[in-house]
Structure 1
Amino acid sequence: MTDTRFYLQAPTADLEHLRSVFGPVFDRIADGALDRERQRVFPHEQVGWLNDAGFGTLRIPATHGGFGASLEHTFLLLADLGAADANVSHIWRNHLAFVEDRLNAPVSETNDIWLKRFLAGEFVGGGWTEANNLTLANLATTVAAADGHWLVSGEKYYATGSLYADWLDVLGRGDDGELLTALVRSHDPGVTLIDDWRGFGQRTTASGSARYDRVRAERGNVFPAAERFGYQAHFYQIAMLAVLTGITRAALRDGSRALTARRRNYPQGLAEVPAEDGQLLAVIGEVSADAFAAEAALARSAQRLDHIVAGRLSGDGDHERQRLVDAEVAVAQAQLVIIAAALNATTTIFDALGASGVSEELGLDRHWRNARTLASHNPRVYKARILGDWFINGKDPVADLATRHRGGQGN
C-alpha cells in the first residue's frame, strides 16, 4: 500500500537497469574528464546530460515519474559517476540530498510543485556553511519575514554546485532565531556567486562563495531546518564517500592502463616487460583490494540508510533512534575504510609506474588531489574515537556530533 503521508516508497528499480540507462552517459562524461581537469573547464554540459537523463530523479518513486532507486543503488551509481569524473559526481550531492528531503516531507501542494520541478530537470545547489569561519552556533545568515514572503541575506562558502543550479538551498535564522532552510532562485536579484574555490582538488565543483542581499524567497520555499529528514547528515557523508569510492576505482583503472602501456622496466625488475613483473602486478592487486573495500563499505553503509527508510515506511517509530545510531556507526566505519582505501590507492598506484607515471599527460595526480580534498571534509581524525567510545562506553555517537554546534558541509 502506498503511504500518503509522504512521498517515500519502497524501491522498485533494478541496479543493472539503472546502470544500462546511465552508464553510457557516464562514459561520455569520462571521455573529456582529463582535459576539463587540465584546463579547469566547468562541466555545465555534462551536468545537463545527466539532467536530461533524469539522474536527479533517481530516488523519486516510479509512480511519481522517477526511477524508484534505493539509497544503496543511488550511491553506487554516484560512485560510478565518480569514477568517470569526481567533480561532476560531487556536484550532485546537494541536489540529491534536497530531493531526499522533499520525499520525506508531508504530501502537500507545495511539495507536489517541488517534485514537478525535479522531474523537469531543475537543479539545486548548496549554501549552508557560513563564510568568515562562523558555525551553526553563531550563524549570521538571516531569513527575515516580509510582506507575504521572506528576504535572505548572508554569505556562504563551500557552495558546491552553485554555478550549475537553478535553486540554492540556504540555511539561515528567522526573526525568532529559528533555523530555516530557504530555497532561492540562483539568478534572482541579490544573488552573487563567486568562483573563488582555491582547493588543489575538486576544482570545478563550484564550491566557492555565495552572497545573498535581501533575496526574495516565497512562502512555499522556506522550511524549518528541524523538519529536514532525520538521516540528512548520513546522506551528505555517504554521498562524499561515493565520490571517493569512484576515485579509488579511477586510480585502479588509469594505473592499470599506464602499466600496460609501459615498455621499459628497471634493472631490478623481475621481468623485461613491466606488465609481466610480479611485483608491479602485486601493486595493482593491492589497489584492486582498496577499490573492493571501498565499494563494499559504501554499499554496506548505504544499506543502513535504506533500513531507516524501511522503518519509516512500516511505521516502526519505536526503533527509529536505534536505526539512526546504526547508520551513524556504519557511516563512520565506512569513512575510515573508504578514505584509507582512496588515499592508499591514489598514492600506491605510482609504485607500479615509475617516473613515467608522473607525466602531466596522464594526470594521475588528480586522483590523489581530489581524494585528499574530499577526505578533508568532516575529517576522519575524530571518527575512530567516537566509534571506540560507542563500542566500549555506549556513548551515543549521534549525540557526540550533534551537541557541539559544528555545522556545515566542509569546515
Structure 2
Amino acid sequence: MSTATNYLSTPTADLDELRAHFAPVFAKIADGNLERERDRVFPHEQVTLLNEAGFGTLRIATDRGGWGASLQQVFLLLADLGTADANVAHIWRNHLAFVEDRLNATVSDANDTWIARFLDGQFVGGGWTEANNVTLANLVTTVQTDGDHFAVTGAKFYATGSLYADWLDVLGRGDDGELLTALVRADDPGVTLVDDWDGFGQRTTASGTARYESARAERGDVFPAAERFPYQGHFYQTAMLSVLTGITRAALRDGSAALTGRKRNYPQGLTEVPSDDAQLLAVIGEVSADAFAAEAALAQAGAALDRIHGGDRNAKRRLVDAEVAVTQAQLVIIAAALRATTTIFDALGASGVSVQRGLDRHWRNARTLASHNPRVYKARILGDYLINGKDPVSNLAALGRGGQGN
C-alpha cells in the first residue's frame, strides 16, 4: 500500500529519449506555423497532436502512466516546441502548471480523478487576471456555494489556452472571502469565451476574455488558492522563458536560411556572395550565442526548480535560490530573445522584411511574452538581495508572482 502524501516522485525520464519521442510531433507542428501566424489560424489540430503524444503527462510518474520527467526536462522540451511554434508552446503554460499543482496536492479521491483526467488527455486553460486594474486584493470574481456545488461568476482576461480547453482554471472569492481556485468545464452553459486578444504577438494563443455566469464547479474541483504549489509563480515564469528560448532559436534557424538563400550582396559587402561575407556570418554567430545563452539559462533555472523538492530542511533556502535563478534567467533570456530577433535582420537584405517570410513574428512574439512580467524591476531586486540580503520571495503573492507571473 502506498504511503505517498502527494503525487510527486523522483524523475526517471531521459531527455534524449523524450526528445526522440516528441521530435516528429514538433516537426508536424512546425510545418505550417508561418501560415497559421500570418492568417491567424488557431492550432486546434496541433494541440490535439501533443495531447495524443502525452505532452500533458510529462511530469506524471511512469508508474501512474506518465513520462516521469523533471522540471528541467519539461522546460527544455517546451523550448523545443517554442522553436516549432511559439503560439502552441504558450498555449500549454496553464495546463502544465495545473498538472504541477495537482502533483503537489495531497493524495485523495478527488486528486486521483484529476490525474486520471490528465492521462485521458483532458486539457486545462484559463486565467486568473481581471481587467480594469483589478488585483488579488480586490478580485471581484466569486466562487459561491450553491447547494451541492459551487457557482462561479466573473470575467477574466489573458485567458490563455481557453479555446482549446476542456477545463478552465478560475480564481475567485468564496463565501467568506477566501481565495479559491475553481475548475469549470469549458462547455458549461455559463461560460462564454471571447476571442478578443488584440496583442501584436502570440496572436493564436486564445488569450482573450472568459466570462462566467453561475458556471458550475463541483466540490472536488474547488481548492483553496493558498494551497497552490509554492513555486507556481516560478513555474509560470519559466514556462514563458521556455517559449522565449524557442523563439530565439527559431530566429536563428529562419535567419540562417534567409542568408543562405541570398544571391546578391550590397556594394559595401566583403564578397559577392552574402553567405561568404564575414560580417554577415558574424551576425549569425552572435545570434547563435544568444540562442546558446538562452538555453543555458533556461536549463539552470529548471535545475533550480527541481532542487526545490529536497524535503522540508532548507526549503526556504531552495525557494530563494530558485527565485534568484529564475530572475537571472529572465534577464538573460529576454535580452537574448529581443536582441536576436532584431539583430538577425542585419544579415539580410530588404527581402528579409517580406511579409511572406514572416520574420517579424519572432520579434513580435518575443516582445509580447517579455511584457508579461516586466524585467525592468528584476535587476534591482537581485542587487538588493545580493548586497543587502533582502528576501526576494517574501512578497511574491502581493506582487502577483504567487499567481501566473503576469
TM-score tier by shorter-chain length is: over 0.9
Residues 346-389 of structure 1: CA deviation (Å, up to 9, x unaligned) = 00000000211001111000000000000000100010010000
Please name the residue that 1:159 is paired with. Answer: 159
> Are positions 1:323 and 2:318 aligned together?
yes
* Structure 2 equivalent of residue 402 of structure 1: 397
Q: Gapped runs of 5+ residues in structure 2?
A: none
Structure 2 CA distance, aligned partners of 1:103 and 1:41? 33
1:392 paired residue among 387, 390, 394 = 387
Match of 1:172 in 2: 172
* Inter-partner Cα distance in structure 1 for 2:271 and 2:401: 54
Q: Show the 5 A alignment for 1:335-346.
A: 335-346=330-341
Q: CA deviation at 1:390?
A: 0.2
- The alignment partner of 1:308 has SS state of coil
> 2-side partners of 1:272 and 1:299: how far apart?
40
TM-score by length of 2: 0.98
Q: Percent identity?
A: 76
Partner of 1:379: 374
In 2, Cα distance between equivalents of 1:301 and 1:195: 33
1:400, distance to aligned residue in structure 2 (A): 4.2
Structure 1 residues 76 and 54: alpha-carbon distance in aligned structure 2, compared to 1, 3 A threshold = same
CA distance in 2, matches of 1:173, 1:151: 11
| 2:140 corresponds to | 140
Maintained 8 Å contact 1:386/1:400 = no
CA distance in 2, matches of 1:182, 1:389: 37
CA distance in 1, matches of 2:369, 2:47: 20
Q: What is the CA-CA distance between 1:322 and the residue it aligns to?
A: 0.8
RMSD over aligned Cα, in angstroms? Answer: 1.3
Deviation at 1:148, TM superposition (A): 1.2
Give 3-state SS (helix, strand or coil) of 1:213's partner: strand
Partner of 2:43: 43
* Structure-2 separation of matches of 1:406 and 1:350: 34
Alignment map for 1:45-124 (pairs within 5 Å): 45-124=45-124
Gaps of 5+ in 1: none
Q: Which amino acid aligns with 2:30?
A: A
Return the offset for 1:409.
Answer: 3.8
Distance 1:374 1:121 in 2: 26
Pairwise CA distance, 1:410: 6.4
Instruction: For 1:277-356, list aligned pairs within 5 A.
Output: 277-309=277-309, 311=310, 316-356=311-351
Q: Residue type matched to 1:205 in 2?
A: T
Contact kept? 2:142, 2:154, Cα under 8 Å? yes
1:401: Cα distance to partner?
3.3
Are 1:240 and 2:258 matched, yes or no?
A: no
Matched residue type, 1:323: R
SS of equivalent residue, structure 1 residue 29: helix
* Segments ≥4 residues shifted beyond 6 Å: none
SS in 1 for 2:307: helix
Alignment of 1:211-222 (within 5 A): 211-222=211-222
> Which residue of structure 1 aligns with residue 363 of structure 2?
368
Cross-structure match for 1:230: 230
Q: May I ask how many residue pairs the two structures share in their alignment?
A: 406
Deviation at 1:126, TM superposition (A): 1.9
Q: Offset of 1:403 from its aligned partner?
A: 3.7
User: 1:404: Cα distance to partner?
Assistant: 4.3
Q: Secondary structure at the match of 1:398?
A: coil
CA distance in 2, matches of 1:322, 1:172: 31
Amino acid at match of 2:244: L
| Secondary structure in structure 1 of the residue aligned to 2:37 | helix
Task: Supply the AA of the counterpart residue of 1:257.
Answer: A
Check whether the contact 2:232–2:404 (CA below 8 A) recurs between aligned residues.
no
- How many angstroms does 1:402 deviate by? 3.2
Post-superposition shift, 1:180?
0.3
User: What pairs up with 1:237-276 in 2 under 5 angstroms?
Assistant: 237-276=237-276
* C-alpha separation in 1, matches of 2:16 and 2:399: 42
Q: In the aligned structure 1, how far is the partner of 2:67 from the partner of 2:396? A: 33
Structure 1 equivalent of residue 34 of structure 2: 34
Partner residue, 1:4: 4
**2:197, 2:209 within 8 Å by CA — same for their partners in 1?**
yes
Give the secondary structure class of the aligned counterpart of 2:275: helix
Residue 136 of structure 1 contacts residue 406 of structure 1 at CA under 8 Å; is this kept in 2? no
Question: In structure 2, how many angstroms separate the alpha carbons of the residues matched to 1:295 and 1:69?
Answer: 18
> Aligned partner of 1:318: which letter?
R
Partner SS for 1:171: strand
Q: Is the 1:336–1:383 contact (alpha carbons within 8 Å) kept by the matching residues of 2?
A: yes
Query: Which residue identity does 1:182 align to in structure 2?
Result: A
Residue 369 of structure 1 aligns with an amino acid whose one-letter code is R
Give the 3 Å change call, closer, same or farther, for CA 366–2 of structure 1 in structure 2: farther
Say which SS state the counterpart of residue 240 (structure 1) adopts.
helix
- AA at the equivalent of 1:389: D
Residues 137, 330 of structure 1: alpha-carbon distance in 2 compared, 3 angstrom cutoff: same
Q: Is the 8 A contact 1:126 1:161 kept in 2?
A: yes
Structure 1 residue 181: Cα displacement = 0.2
The 1-side partners of 2:402 and 2:62 are apart by 34
Report the TM-score when normalising by structure 1.
0.97
CA distance in 2, matches of 1:240, 1:402: 19
The one-character-per-residue Cα deviations of 1:289-315 (angstroms, maximum 9, x if unpaired) are 000000000000110110012x1xxxx
Aligned residue for 1:198, secondary structure, equals coil
8 Å CA contact 2:143–2:172 kept in 1: the answer is yes
